[in-house]
Amino acid sequence: MLIQRSGGSRPWPGPLLLDARALRAVLRPDALLEAVSRSLAELDRGGLAVAPTVHLPGEGGGFHLKSAFASTAPHRAVVKLNGNFPSNPERFGLPTIQGVVALLDGERGRILALMDSIVITALRTAAVSAAAARCLARADSRAITLIGCGAQGREHLGQLARLFPLDEARLFDRDRTAAERLAEFARELGLSAIVAASACEAARGAAIVVTATPATSPILHLEDVAAGAFVAAVGADNPSKSELAPALLAASLVVVDSRDLAAENGDLRAALAAGAMSIRDVHGELPALMAGRIAGRSRPEQRFVFDSTGLAATDLAAANLAYESTLADRGAPRFDFTATDSSTRPPRRTPRRSR
């Protein structure tokens, strides 16, 4: 039952229902960047627990379920169920990714909020890449390449343009119209924009490269990426996907969000399978980088690859930020599954009579 609360007070007003518009209004880029950075450092310190990802097959795509729990106050959990169907835009006019994020009370078991996972996923993924880039990309980076110009490409460009003195965007997408739309956005940000004819043409010479595609075989090779560049590879999130050639990873300092997840689902998986590198060759994990336990860039010529598979700890950070930012809004939509079902409520206790 959907309820709209405009006033009054009660101890528990019910769970929030946050759509895309509501989330974009409260998930400001700077605040989200700091929130995911803190959550990753907390994950490294042991204050967060992340459960294994569950994959469910679909027709022409699939679902994955990610979850995390904070053992420190406030004790909250997040569960995210995403459907990823790459042919949706062409076949049905629907987004590639759709789903829901549930924020849960870890002490009472209550649903605190249900949120649109399209926005949570897009914004937190770009914020995580930005957190990695702050430590791994050259501070004087001016040219950025976006390979894959959909929602993730736009969010990454917006986040990274805030952190670096960018003046040029090089864009490639199999759908040229998508690349041209992103070029318009880049110009709105004050950048010159070039729509390239191929991924390798777009990447060559760029200081920052973001790949956000559903590719199942490498689209970037070692010769395409300059020494000193930073590559954020965010497209490979299951064993069927691959964006970067094994030789590129082997010739770079590789930072992953999780060794286990990257070895199972990321571009690291293909590099390990090809024998191009071993798990011991990984420079480190992003949570350790955020906690200061491993070093970031120390020399201009270092080439870094950030292999991002997506951690539920950062979904929890985004969901918490959205919840706390909306909690005081009495006009925010709320719902209540138990509003018309008295059987789910505990029986009222009859007060004892004094004798």
CB count in 10 Å sphere of residue 351: 6
Q: Which CATH superfamily is domain 2-120+313-340 in?
A: ornithine cyclodeaminase, domain 1 (3.30.1780.10)
CA atoms within 13 A on the CB side of 212: 25
- Check residue 342 and give its pLDDT: 55
Estimate to the nearest angstrom the gap between the alpha carbon of 240 and the chain centroid: 19
Confirm whether pTM is higher than 0.85: yes
Longest dimension (CA), the chain: 89
As a whole number of angstroms, the distance between CA 46 and CA 33 comes to: 20
Domain residue limits, the chain: 2-120+313-340, 138-310
DSSP run (H or E) holding 131: helix 117-136
For 19-56, write each residue's pLDDT tens digit: 999 999 999 999 999 999 999 999 999 999 999 889 89
Task: State the DSSP code for 345.
Answer: S
pLDDT digit string, tens, across residues 49-99: 999 889 899 998 899 999 999 998 889 999 999 998 988 988 999 988 899
Region 138-310: CATH code: 3.40.50.720
CB 233 within 8 A of CB 308: yes
pLDDT tens profile 153-210 = 999 999 999 999 999 999 999 999 999 999 999 999 999 999 999 999 999 999 999 9
